[in-house]
Amino acid sequence: MTTSTADRRGDDRLHVVVTGGAGFIGSNVSAAFLREGHRVTVFDSLARPGSERNLEWLQSMAPPGSLCFTRGDVRDTQAVRSVVGEADAHIVYHFAAQTAVTRSVVEPREDLDVNLCGTHNVLEAVRGSQARTPPMLFFTSTNKVYGALPHRRAAESDTRYRFCDPEIDARGIDESEPLDFHSPYGCSKGAADQYVHDYSRIYGLRTVVFRMSCIYGPRQFGNEDQGWVAHFMRAVAEDRPLMIYGNGKQVRDLLYIDDLVRAFRLAALRIERTAGNVYNIGGGPSQAISIWHELRPRLERLAGHSLAARFSTWRPGDQPIYVSDTCKAQRDFGWSPRVQIDDGLERLWAWARILADGARSNGHTPDLVLTQSDGLLTRAIQTGPTA
């Protein structure tokens, strides 16, 4: 089903297609372009909890004629081709995915079909685009493509793990790290990651891969399997119990959603340099935190009371420590994180509190816009293919 008020006449606005555009990352990216007056097509199955609310939010803030929504599944080849292969699309952001390691273990074929076959559908649609210049394609991969990092020894302290190699501990994991898929999710995302990378080399498409660490922020309806920072925040705000898998000393680098949106946009502005590349994207060592023992005091400060959690066994492929080295992104398109952890957590807590208050008031939840456009992409990006 397609609903649209978008004007298809030619103009100088960008036309951006976002698969998974009603998800956490997709809705924030879509909103940034809508705020600048560009046209956005959201392609989403609305299967994930919270996606309907994100779509309603986008529809409420979109200028007239700027937003088109198509309900569809990336496994549907024809549906993807009809949306992604449009003649006037400038950029495609491919975010539609199965995102949970635990679900991939239970339903590995579904994980394969969505993450790998769905991505291949998008690639083929971009390659077969009717546009004079095929749109650039951005794909969200994951740090899970590096596996459990068994050759990177980690030492355990009272609150966290650290890399034993002082150089790696100081800067994090860079893109030269060997791939070591672990879990069906790691396999499907890793294989898709490599397909996107190779389609640039073989077919000359302008593709960019972001291997992302832990992204957090408003519009993230997280759960135990995925989006753990938002899940913890909402659970605390709604007085729900918390479960920690492993010992809670696992370390991840956090990146606030506004910084990720800015990275996508800066990489698009420098597409002549970024096309065909893979980038580790995360908060880096300065934004690294253990998932419970160092996050808990911050949550307690926000909530105003002490917190407790139950502990369960480690999950497959869980890395004791992963921290992104983002120097390549800094070098190629001038990006580095700006939002500090405490500031980002305060913003997310404000959104979580609004959701919790709404749930206590007969389900009516007023919305809160916490992300702002950086005003970076105000011209059409129609650079030709790389050689």
Angle at 322 between CA 187 and CA 310, to 5 degrees: 90
| Res 350: pLDDT | 95
Angle at 138 between CA 20 and CA 226, to 5 degrees: 45
- Strand 251-256 to 321-322 pairing: parallel
Largest Cα span, the chain:
61
Q: Which DSSP string corresponds to 272-331?
A: HHHTTEEEEES--GGGEEETTTTTHHHHHHHHTS----EEEPPPTT--SEE-B--HHHHH
User: Which residue in the list 93, 161, 185, 322 is annotated as catalytic?
Assistant: 185
| Res 361: pLDDT | 60
| Residues 210, 2: Cα–Cα separation, whole Å | 29
pLDDT block averages, 10 residues each, the chain of length 387: 40 89 96 96 93 96 95 96 86 92 88 96 94 93 91 95 97 96 90 97 97 95 79 94 94 97 97 98 97 96 96 84 97 97 96 83 46 35 39
| Res 386: pLDDT | 39
Residue 71, helix vs strand vs coil:
strand
Which among 99, 198, 189, 207 is positioned nearest to 145, based on CA atoms?
A: 189
| Residues ≥6 apart with Cβ < 8 Å to 346 | 302
| Res 371: pLDDT | 37
What pTM, to 2 d.p., does this model score?
0.89
**Residue 251's Cα: distance from chain center in Å?**
19
Which domains, ranges and CATH numbers included, belong to the chain? 13-360 (3.40.50.720)
Where would I find the H helices in the chain? Answer: 24-35, 51-61, 77-84, 101-106, 108-112, 118-127, 166-171, 184-203, 228-237, 257-269, 271-274, 296-303, 327-333, 341-360
Length of the chain (residues): 387
Question: Active-site residue 185, yes or no?
Answer: yes
| Res 43: pLDDT | 97
Distant-in-sequence contacts of 193-201, Cβ < 8 A, 24+ apart: 193/139, 193/141, 193/145, 193/278, 195/116, 195/119, 195/120, 195/123, 196/94, 196/119, 196/123, 196/137, 196/139, 196/141, 197/276, 197/278, 199/123, 199/126, 199/127, 200/275, 200/276, 200/386, 201/276
| Res 369: pLDDT | 39
Helices (H) and strands (E) in the chain, counts: 14, 16
Per the structure block, which two tokens stand in for 33? 């372009």
| Res 11: pLDDT | 61
| Res 6: pLDDT | 39
| Res 362: pLDDT | 52
Q: How many CB atoms lie under 10 A from the CB of residue 311?
A: 12
| Residues 382, 184: Cα–Cα separation, whole Å | 37
Q: What share of residues in the chain are helix, strand, coil (percent, to 5)?
A: 40, 20, 45
| Res 208: pLDDT | 98
| Residues 282, 301: Cα–Cα separation, whole Å | 24
